[in-house]
Amino acid sequence: MFREMNVEGFQRVLLHTDDASGLHAIIAIHNTTLGPALGGVRFRAYHDQQEAIDDCLLLAQAMTLKASVAGLDLGGGWSVILGDPTQRKSPHLLRAHGRFIARLSGQFIPVNDIGTTQNDIAEIGRETQPVCAYGDPSPMTALGVVEAIRACMSIAGLGKSLRSIRVAVQGVGNVGASLVELLHDAGAQLIVSDVDEMKAKNIASKYGIDWLPPNRIVLTACDVLAPCATGNVIRTSNVSNLQCRVIAGGANNVLEHASLESALMARGIVYAPDFCANAGGLIFLSEHMLGHTNQQTIERVRTVGDTVMTVLQMSQTLNTTATEAANELAMRRLRKHSAGAGY
């Protein structure tokens, strides 16, 4: 069963259920002004369909902004598959999702996300093209986050050297683990956490660093808080108790709601908008699609720091939040491209 929803500000939002494979999925295409929408395939057990739709819409919109601010010729979209991937994932289901994506005739390019792997994307790619199966983008996401952290530290008066800077990394999955490695090599003092306690302990043991339970890491005293797991990390209930100077990480939708950024500013906490800080993975995929070398990709990913610095300086000049400044940069490019195309 296919159903199309009319959602203001989105080009297309499609729902699909397939009894034969067990697929229950959503695809949101937010904006393709700059190019085809590239986005993740998230496979997770949501409480209900509405929660899944809300997640998909937020992530698709963030991809539009992320691509535009990063200067990429890509649009924003996302897809989610509802269910526990450890129980429901199968080649049959993934190929059904590929056929669902194929109905969009190349408007949506999928990449792996929470609950999916590069092998899963390759399976989806048996039914639709193009797909992004160029290798794990997590190390490049982490590299971009490092550069975003440096930019925020500079604005916060901490300099740009990471040596002896105390960084709390929340979530040590693919991106978080790569970030820990880069920060450790740069001489940072690290503390980590993960909902999977054993994973946190293993990372802590590997690098000889400390770990905390997930409910304590956000409020620990540190120079930099780097959220690298799921969203809604900064909440109304904890914003007044934060003990960090900078927030910059690989997670999406870090703030429970947008108004919390003003509370961060009032407390002097420098925040890198998530869709700016975590753009390294998207840049990695774009560079590979263009056939660029690994060195070219690394150099391009390092410009994440320049983008974050521009956004933070623009925020100061205009007396707006960093997210408002980043949104304005993204929209300027979208408006310019639309005007140039005669839209």
Position 342 scores a pLDDT of: 47
Is the pLDDT at 294 greater than 70? The verdict is: yes
Average pLDDT over residues 278-283: 95
Residue 133 counted as domain residue: no
pLDDT of residue 272: 98
Compute, in degrees rounded to 10, the torsion defined by CA atoms 104, 34, 258, 329: 180
In a domain, 130, yes or no: no
Task: Please report the pLDDT score of residue 341 as a whole number.
Answer: 58
Residues composing the chain: 343
Question: Do 146 and 86 fall within a single domain?
Answer: no
User: Which of 155, 148, 150 minimizes the C-alpha distance to 313?
Assistant: 155
Cβ pair 124, 131 in contact under 8 A:
yes
Axis-axis angle for helices 280-289, 49-69 (nearest 10): 70
Report which DSSP code applies to 137.
-
> How many domains, the chain?
2
Give residue 2's pLDDT band: very low, low, confident or very high (50, 70, 90): confident
Boundaries of domain holding 279: 138-330
Predicted confidence (pLDDT) per residue in 172-219, tens digit: 998 999 999 999 999 999 999 999 999 999 999 999 999 999 889 999
Helix (H) or strand (E) segment spanning residue 142? helix 138-155
Residue 111: give its domain's CATH number: 3.40.50.10860
Indicate if 120 and 224 belong to the same structural domain. no
User: What integer pLDDT is reported at residue 114 of this predicted model?
Assistant: 86
The percent of residues in the chain predicted with pLDDT above 70, rounded, is: 99
User: Is residue 221 domain-shared with residue 198, that is, in the same domain?
Assistant: yes
341 within domain boundaries: no
pLDDT tens digits, one per residue of 77-86: 999 999 999 9
Q: Indicate whether 217 and 317 sit together in one domain.
A: yes
Q: In the numeric block, which tokens belong to residue 41?
A: 């395939």
**192 occurs within a structural domain:** yes
**Residue 240 DSSP code:** G
Please tell me whether residues 171 and 278 are part of one structural domain: yes
The pLDDT of residue 246: 98
The separation between the first and the last C-alpha atoms of the chain, rounded to the nearest angstrom, is: 33
What's the token pair of residue 278? 């975590």
Residue 293 belongs to domain with CATH number: 3.40.50.720
Whether 163 and 301 map to the same domain: the answer is yes
Q: Do 148 and 117 share a structural domain?
A: no
- In the predicted model, what is the mean pLDDT of residues 334-342? 77
Q: Are strands 2-5 and 12-18 parallel, antiparallel or unpaired?
A: antiparallel
- Asked if residue 275 is part of any domain, the answer here is yes
Paired residues of 14 in beta bridges:
4, 27
Look at residues 211, 198, 197, 201 and name the one whose alpha carbon lies nearest to residue 168.
211
* DSSP codes, 185-227: HTT-EEEEE-SSHHHHHHHHHHHT-EE--HHHHTTS--SEEEE
Q: Are 180 and 117 in the same domain?
A: no
Residues 208 and 101 reside in one and the same domain: no
Average pLDDT over residues 128-147: 93
- For residue 170, being part of any structural domain is answered with yes
Please indicate, yes or no, whether residues 309 and 186 belong to a single structural domain of this protein. Answer: yes
Question: What integer pLDDT is reported at residue 339 of this predicted model?
Answer: 73
